[in-house]
Amino acid sequence: MFNVTRVKRSQRGFTLLELMLVLAISALITSGLAMTLYQLSHLTVKGQSELKAQHQLQNVASWLNRDVVSASPSQAIVGSTTLTLTLPYYTVGKDEMASYRTIGYSYSEEDHTLTRTQDGASQVIGREIGFISFGPAGTVTDTLSITVTVSFRGIERTSALRFDLRLDTAYWE
């Protein structure tokens, strides 16, 4: 009645112990891959934050360098969160000075931005600025020291900038 056939050893299934061992090894491999992917993405975000902070510092330094070195000491005035520069403006092809133009830098603690204003037009030149110091308030004598701190996604970078202003023509007369 009952025809019991013997199962050959090669046709047998996996035992419970063998299945649990395979699941444990798979879980270890999967968790290792997940940790690696998480760290890789975390390093990518951190690297991008570092680059963003460095880019903001370079942009601010570039604009300040462009304008500050052209100003005479008596034409640079520092406020608590502002810097005002009066620069000579020359016409191309003429030796005489045509006029002066005023360039202002102002820091907004609310927006954490540094804005450059020239001829009534404003342009944000630095974002995520945590702190900026243009130095002591008043007229700049001969050297302007500016400290800028950029904070972006937990990354904070500080740069100390020093500019030697050009000599007034009055010194040469």
User: Is the pLDDT score of 171 beyond 50?
Assistant: no
Tokens of 140: 């700049």
**pLDDT at residue number 173:** 35
Contact criterion met (CB below 8 Å) for 99 and 89: yes
Average the pLDDT over each of 43-47, 92-96, 112-116, 150-154 and give the range with the smallest value: 92-96
* Whole-Å CA distances, 11 to 7, 8, 14, 20, 143: 6, 5, 10, 20, 89
Tell me the pLDDT tens digit for each residue of 13-33: 788 888 999 999 999 999 999
Residues whose CB falls within 8 Å of the CB of residue 129, separated by 6 or more in sequence, listed in order: 56, 60, 107, 112, 113, 114, 148, 149, 150
pLDDT over 70 percentage in the chain: 86
pLDDT class of 59 with cuts at 50, 70, 90: very high
Angle at 15 (CA atoms; ends 10, 16), nearest 5 degrees: 165
* Whole-Å CA distances, 171 to 76, 102, 104, 131: 16, 22, 25, 35
How are beta strands 76-78 and 82-90 bridged, if at all? antiparallel
> How far, in Å, CA of 122 to CA of 114, rounded?
10
DSSP tag of 122:
E
